[in-house]
Amino acid sequence: MPLVTMRQLLDEAAAGAYGVAAFNVNNMEQIQGIMDAAQETQSPVIVQASRGARSYAGDRFLYHLMLAAAETYPDIPVALHQDHGNSPETCISAIELGFTSVMMDGSLAEDAKTPLDFEANVAVTKQVVDYAHERGVTVEGELGTLGGIEDGVGSGEVHLTDPAQAEEFVERTGVDALAVAIGTSHGAYKFSREPDGDVLDMEIIEDIHRRLPDTHIVMHGSSSVPAELVERVRAAGGEVDAGFGVPISAIQRGIEHGVRKVNIDTDGRLAMTAAMRELFRDKPGDWDPRGPGKAARAGQKLICMQRMQELGMAGHAGDYEPMSLQDMAARYAAGVRTAV
């Protein structure tokens, strides 16, 4: 199956009332673990690469790993997404490379740290939407900023999304999906205590969904930071500064109110690190680099399978035939924003 447009994945998820996990990748083992999990659970999936990942792996290497994934798992719908594009140029380069979805993070300036004002956000996001939709590519925008910094992205400050402003933003830009700030953070350290309504404002999601029922909501910083993974890393000699993550129950509540894309990065990193550290601890004589690679891949697979079940995406891989980018471009040109 070819790489598919994220718009179709999210439209189908909306029709089926489930969420789709978007897992960050940097190397072959991560991609294999994610795709093994998708195959075993029969889940559609979004694989996403940050600018840091593209720099680390190299654009051509990363893209051809994804093509290999699509060829190896022909029954799994998979979208390749640019995470946190910091400029129109970054997003355009991803589209030209073959990504089927891009995020223009106009909530921050090009340095990916300084908050950008609303009008500037609208302008850069609209520029990307116009370019992408002509080619059938999905666009995610962001309004508001998350706490924390991960992979060089983040202002370190939380600015919650204003639902009324979100309505204007979507109308003026035409984005397919909107990342919102409700109190979550990038990185392993998210909350110092179990998050409740004082630190995680789920009502923002519910209000935005009432106003924008056809726009897919995205939850960033949605790793749950499982305590058992943190303890495994520490028990194997690692150091992790981690607090409480986003409860699965909060993500599931979001899915009930329009959340269709759920970004998960830290959980995968923890799972892979725990597996590799345990191998180094338990098999000090194993100097074959394939050993930690296999362990990392298995750790990634297990956490992905768990999240795929919890988000309700398991069992939906065969629900529909993939739409080509050309067909989606024709729909955009005709004024039809949906793929179903």
Parse the chain into domains and list their residue ranges: 6-333
**Residue 155 above 50 pLDDT?**
no
Say if residue 241 is exposed, middle or buried (CB neighbours under 10 Å; 0-12, 13-18, 19+). Answer: exposed
Give the tens place of pLDDT for each residue, 175-220. Answer: 999 999 987 765 665 566 666 655 578 899 999 999 999 999 999 9
Q: What is the mean pLDDT of residues 9-38?
A: 98
Stretch 53-67: mean pLDDT: 95
Summarised one tens digit per residue, pLDDT across range 282-327 is 999 999 999 999 999 999 999 999 999 999 999 999 999 999 999 9
Q: What is the pTM of this model?
A: 0.93
For residues 291 and 279, the answer to whether their CB atoms sit within 8 Å is: yes
Alpha helices in the chain (DSSP H): 6-16, 28-41, 51-57, 59-72, 88-97, 118-133, 163-173, 202-211, 227-235, 248-256, 266-282, 290-310, 325-333
N- to C-terminal Cα separation, the chain: 18
Give residue 177's identity as a one-letter amino acid code. Answer: A
- The pLDDT, as a whole number, for residue 193 is 63
Topology annotation, domain 6-333: TIM Barrel (3.20.20)
Distance CA 288, CA 193 (A): 41
How many DSSP H helices and E strands does the chain contain? 13, 8
The pairing of beta strand 259-264 with beta strand 20-24: parallel
**Cβ neighbours for 40, distance < 8 A, ≥ 6 positions apart:** 301, 305
Residue 121's region, left for phi above 0, alpha for psi from -120 to 50, else beta, is alpha
Q: Annotated active-site positions, please?
A: 83
Strand 78-85 relative to strand 20-24: parallel, antiparallel, unpaired? unpaired
Q: Tens digit of pLDDT for each residue in 234-267? A: 999 999 988 778 999 999 999 999 999 999 999 9
Chain mean pLDDT for the chain: 92
